[in-house]
């Protein structure tokens, strides 16, 4: 290809580069692929600044779940550096008080030595109901949780709790944007994806069938196809 574009992928909460492994081969054909390190800071502003300091001058940006929250912060800090934006199973809204309370409960359990149990507790909400007995997906979530570790999990949750409301800035997004979700995402309902797509000028909304919160491993071909079309158009 004559015109390649660096691609920057940002994982979600308790997710590591493993989450993007099923789709990276398809993306790699369009340019060099980097998976951002999002585990070193405890607020969105600092996470985004550090990622931007390490990123190419201009890139296509795809953020999954918490990675979408980080993508919004990157768009606020350096919109001119983002050529394309993909928002995967994420939302523009801030945390609700109820969600923050649940997060603090998980943080306390993780601090007290129950981090593996916290990961197992998160799993049913991460996958399509038909995949709740999928041992390979459960192991993936456990492995990524171990990649991240307890200390970084606590930093991530702190950042997620304090994230700003990104709805007022949706209209500022001018680059080609894909909003991708699953038809049964029980962590971030796809109604919130529809809300984002409606607020971003020209955004394309794709809802994958038989898919929960983890489209890359749950529906790898359909997810890759949507991302390839995003990069092509």
Report yes or no on 145 lying in a domain: no
Nearest-angstrom CA–CA distance, 231 and 209: 21
HSE-up (13 A, CA, CB side) for residue 118: 24
Measure Cα distances from 204 to 76, 172, 184, 186, 227 in Å: 20, 16, 19, 21, 11
Q: How many CB atoms lie within 10 A of CB 133?
A: 8
Measure Cα distances from 149 to 52, 111, 113, 131 in Å: 23, 11, 12, 25
Report yes or no on 135 lying in a domain: no
Q: How many CB atoms lie within 10 A of CB 175?
A: 17
Bridge partners for 35 per DSSP: 9
Report yes or no on 226 lying in a domain: yes
Specify whether the CB–CB gap between 194 and 182 falls below 8 A: no
Report yes or no on 216 lying in a domain: yes
Specify whether the CB–CB gap between 159 and 43 falls below 8 A: yes
Report yes or no on 144 lying in a domain: no
**Token pair of 89, please?**
């199973």
Task: Note down pLDDT in tens along the chain; length 233 residues.
Answer: 456 899 999 999 999 999 999 999 999 999 999 999 999 999 999 999 999 999 999 999 999 999 999 999 999 999 999 999 999 999 999 999 999 999 999 999 999 999 999 999 999 999 999 999 999 999 999 999 999 999 999 999 999 999 999 999 999 999 999 999 999 999 999 999 999 999 999 999 999 999 999 999 999 999 999 999 999 98
Q: What is the pLDDT of residue 10?
A: 98
The pTM assigned to this predicted structure is 0.97
Q: What is the pLDDT of residue 175?
A: 98
Report yes or no on 110 lying in a domain: no
Q: How many CB atoms lie within 10 A of CB 226?
A: 21
Report yes or no on 52 lying in a domain: yes
Domain containing residue 41: 7-95+157-232
Specify whether the CB–CB gap between 63 and 71 falls below 8 A: yes
Q: How many distinct structural domains can be found in the chain?
A: 1
For residue 171, the domain's CATH number is 3.40.50.1820
Q: Beta strand 33-35 with 59-64: parallel, antiparallel or unpaired? A: unpaired
């Amino acid at each position: 290809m004559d015109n390649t574009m660096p691609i920057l992928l940002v994982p979600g909460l308790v997710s590591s580069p493993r989450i993007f492994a099923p789709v990276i081969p398809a993306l790699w054909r369009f340019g060099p692929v980097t998976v951002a390190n999002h585990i070193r800071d405890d607020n969105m502003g600092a996470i985004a600044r550090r990622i931007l300091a390490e990123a190419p001058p201009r890139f296509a940006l795809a953020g999954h779940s918490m990675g979408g929250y980080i993508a919004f912060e990157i768009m606020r800090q350096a919109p001119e550096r983002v050529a394309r934006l993909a928002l995967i199973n994420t939302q523009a809204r801030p945390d609700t008080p109820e969600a923050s309370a649940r997060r603090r409960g998980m943080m306390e359990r993780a601090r007290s030595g129950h981090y593996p149990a916290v990961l197992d507790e998160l799993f049913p909400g991460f996958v399509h109901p038909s995949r709740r007995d999928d041992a390979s997906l459960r192991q993936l979530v456990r492995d990524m949780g171990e990649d991240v570790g307890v200390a970084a999990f606590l930093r991530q949750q702190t950042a997620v709790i304090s994230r700003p409301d990104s709805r007022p800035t949706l209209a500022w997004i001018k680059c080609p944007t894909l909003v991708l979700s699953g038809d049964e995402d029980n962590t971030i309902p796809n109604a919130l994806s529809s809300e984002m797509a409606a607020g971003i000028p020209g955004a394309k909304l794709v809802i994958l069938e038989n898919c929960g919160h983890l489209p890359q491993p749950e529906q790898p071909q359909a997810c890759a196809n949507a991302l390839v079309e995003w990069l092509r158009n």
